[in-house]
Amino acid sequence: MHRHVLLLAALALGFATAEAAAPVQTSGTWHTLDGKPPLVIAHRGASGYRPEHTLASYTLAIEMGADYIEPDLVATRDGHLIARHEPLLDDTTDVKSRPQFAARRTTRMLDGKSVTGFFASDFTLAEIKQLRAVQANPARSKEHDGRYEIPTFDEILDLRERESAKRGRTIGVYPETKHPSFHLDLELPLEERLLDALRKHKLDRADGPVFIQSFESANLQYLHTKTKLPLVQLLDDGALLYDAAGKRVIAVKIPQYGDKRGGTPPQSLEDVAKYANAIGPWKRQIMRDIGAQQLLQTTLIEQAHAAGLRVHTYTFRTEPATLAPEYRNDPLLEYRQFYALGIDGVFSDFPDVALSARK
Ligand code: G3P
Ligand code: CA
């Protein structure tokens, strides 16, 4: 989007609560860290339209023009990386309706909590391939349930390569290591498997179209010693502490789950910048919900940029129930606000909408 259109969009929004007026564009360029347009990252594929983390979902995202496709990764019992948001298969597959696997239901400790269900790490890849993906979000269509296999990371990288060649553009891949400490405890560490797959596809290089993300810090610090690829420290709700005004970040607190590799928990954005190239905050850590139907603009993006960190924020959705009141049921207003703020990338379930707002 051109500078003055962004400015108008910002003004039209009133930037909600006057707080947001400061960073509108003034120089004719994007206010991203590198001055390029913000990345559109297809969150779990085009997961607003297809069951998440399926080749169909990634393919649709690519057809729509997404810059990156995002697989979350967990490990099978025989050590294959597959795309699932959780180690559990219960909500996103038809495992519960497969009598041959009924006895696999079990209870494990996951990030300090007792969790019961069907864990991918109790299934071989051959068994996983007997399952089919289903729509987990009750607000979305189930018309594609039962059609698609659970893909391996390798299959996703094949798809990326094939589609990049076919379309004459480089499609990026944005893998997330899910619950790395949990997998390490199971002796199914994710990191070497991830790097092996990327190497097989000639993607483990400094300029590879890849970002590796994690909510944990110890595995990112480990990866920092093993690869030149850019790393992204995800931030969940509670990972940032703010000043009394609620705007300026004064500390970082990443949950620690006893990763045997140790590492040094970061205390600040500057600490994060020692091993990561970007942060991945929740969008409500940038525009904070302060009640009374108001959002408060923080200085997180400026602070991260000052520390040399890009900011890729999650997750943008289109359904009205997911939008804050100030966006008046129009998802474009939300994207345009974040683009005007200088966001470097957005994770979206609806990459077509994110791209349309970027024009
Ligand atoms: O990885 C960015 C975003 O996907 C984080 O949220 O829970 O959807 O993986 P989640
Ligand atoms: Ca993710």
The DSSP line for 96-147 is GG-GGGGGG-EEEEETTEEEEE-BGGGS-HHHHTT--B----TTS--TTTTS
Atom of ligand 1 nearest to the CA of 41: 2
Q: Which residues contact 230 (CB under 8 A, 6 or more apart)?
A: 210, 211, 212, 276, 277, 278
Q: What are the tokens at 328?
A: 């008046």
Quick one: pLDDT at residue 2? 39
Atom of ligand 1 nearest to the CA of 174: 1
CA 4 to centroid of ligand 1, rounded, Å? 32
Taking the CA of 278 as reference, the closest ligand is 1
- Nearest CA owner, ligand 1 atom 7: 85
Mean pLDDT per 10-residue run, the chain (359 residues)?
38 33 52 98 98 98 98 98 98 98 98 98 98 97 98 99 98 98 98 98 97 98 98 98 98 96 96 98 97 95 98 98 96 98 98 97
Question: What's the pLDDT score for residue 23?
Answer: 36
CA 16 to chain centre: 26
Residue 187: predicted pLDDT: 98
Give the position, in ligand 1's atom list, of the atom nearest the Cα of 232. Answer: 1
Residue whose CA is at the smallest distance from ligand 1 atom 5: 314
Distance 347 CA to ligand 2 centre (A): 9
Å from CA of 7 to ligand 2 middle: 31
Our mutation pick for probing the ligand 1 site, out of 286, 347, 348, 349, counting the most ligand atoms within 8 A of Cβ, is 347
- What CATH superfamily is the domain 3-358? Phosphatidylinositol (PI) phosphodiesterase (3.20.20.190)
CB-based contact 150:48 (threshold 8 Å): no
Alpha helices in 129-268 (DSSP H): 153-167, 180-185, 191-200, 218-224
Helix (H, G, I), strand (E, B) or coil at 167: helix
Q: How far is the CA of 92 from the centre of ligand 2 (A)?
A: 14
Which atom of ligand 1 has the smallest separation from the CA of 280? 2
Atom of ligand 1 at shortest range from CA of 85 = 9
CA-closest residue to ligand 1 atom 3 = 314
- Put simply, whether the predicted model's pTM sits higher than 0.75 gets the answer yes
Query: Which ligand 1 atom minimizes the distance to the CA of 176?
Result: 1
- Ligand 2 mean position to 5 CA, how many Å? 31
- Residue 28 is predicted with a pLDDT of 62
**CA of residue 213 to ligand 1 center, whole Å:** 9
Q: What is the pLDDT of residue 197?
A: 98
What residues does 146 pair with on adjacent strands? none
Q: Where are the beta strands (DSSP E) in the chain?
A: 39-43, 68-70, 72-75, 81-83, 106-110, 113-117, 172-173, 176-177, 212-214, 231-235, 240-242, 249-252, 278-281, 287-289, 295-297, 310-316, 345-348
Q: What is the pLDDT of residue 321?
A: 95
Question: Best substitution site from 314, 348, 349 to test ligand 1's pocket, by max atoms within 8 Å of Cβ?
Answer: 314
User: Cα(70) to centroid of ligand 2, in Å?
Assistant: 7
**Ligand 1 neighbours by CB, cut-off 6 Å:** 43, 72, 85, 176, 213, 234, 280, 314-315, 347
Choice from 39, 40, 43, 110 to test ligand 1 binding pocket (greatest atom count within 8 A of CB): 43
CA–centroid distance, 254 to ligand 1, in Å, is 15
Q: Ligand 1 centre and the CA of 279: distance in Å?
A: 12
The residue nearest atom 1 of ligand 1, judged by CA position, is 176
pLDDT of residue 349: 98
Instruction: Identify the residue whose tokens are 């169909």.
Output: 56
Q: Phi and psi (nearest 5°) for 20?
A: -95, 10
Protein residue with its CA nearest to atom 10 in ligand 1? 85
